[in-house]
């Protein structure tokens, strides 16, 4: 595992006008009631802000016209996959992800959210939640990441 690197990734904490955060339930996670914020890999040579807006549009249907990026994390946040997942995700090339997170303000309406905007869809359901709930909703191996993101963005939410 120590020979494997980290997958470059972005994540978006999308906050609505009420200060609530978007979370989606992954289609491919059948083993729990886990919810997560939009995130995804960065393409070779892709700008991080562009990657964040692309991933957000793919996963939520939220278009750039309704999204303002407010801030990004000071430093990337890394996490390791649990042993049972190493070699099974991302072609077996990575031990985890190195994520740059963005806080984004959403000015659209719930009708502007479209989980089918990209084929294949990543989420089967979505909701707005209080930011403080985030660490309790994510899979256990990402809890530290969500606590760090929440801590860094809390004052701006």
Nearest to 73 by CA among 53, 49, 56, 96: 49
Band of pLDDT at residue 88, cut at 50, 70 and 90: confident
- pLDDT tens for residues 120-132? 999 999 999 999 9
pLDDT digits (tens, 9 = 90+) for 14-72: 999 999 999 999 998 767 789 999 999 999 999 999 999 999 999 999 999 999 999 99
Per-residue pLDDT, 2: 65
Number of domains in the chain: 1
Q: Whole-model pTM?
A: 0.94
What does residue 140 show for φ and ψ, rounded to 5 degrees? -55, -40
Range of the domain at 116: 5-156
pLDDT of 1 higher than 60: no
Rounded to the nearest angstrom, the gap between the alpha carbon of residue 130 and the centroid of all alpha carbons in its chain is 16
Nearest by Cα to 31 from 77, 86, 85, 78: 85
Residue with tokens 């609505």: 16
- Residue 147, helix vs strand vs coil: helix
| pLDDT above 90 as % of the chain | 83
- The answer to whether the beta carbons of residues 40 and 48 sit under 8 Å apart is no
Distance CA 151, CA 65 (A): 27
The CATH number of whichever domain residue 26 belongs to comes to 3.90.79.10
Q: What is the pLDDT of residue 100?
A: 98
> 83 or 1: which carries more pLDDT confidence?
83
Tokens found for residue 103: 């806080």
């Amino acid at each position: 595992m120590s020979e494997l690197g980290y997958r470059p990734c972005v994540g978006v904490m999308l906050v609505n006008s009420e200060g609530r955060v978007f979370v989606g339930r992954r289609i491919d996670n059948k083993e729990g009631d886990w919810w997560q914020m939009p995130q995804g890999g960065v393409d070779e040579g892709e700008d991080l802000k562009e990657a964040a807006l692309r991933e957000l549009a793919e996963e939520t249907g939220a278009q750039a016209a309704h999204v303002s990026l407010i801030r990004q994390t000071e430093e990337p946040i890394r996490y390791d996959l649990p042993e049972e997942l190493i070699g099974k995700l991302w072609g077996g090339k990575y031990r985890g992800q190195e994520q740059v997170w963005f806080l984004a303000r959403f000015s659209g309406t719930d009708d502007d959210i479209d989980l089918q905007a990209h084929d294949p869809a990543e989420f089967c359901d979505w909701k707005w939640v209080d930011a403080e709930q985030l660490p309790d909703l994510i899979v256990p191996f990402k809890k530290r990441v969500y606590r760090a993101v929440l801590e860094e963005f809390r004052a701006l939410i």
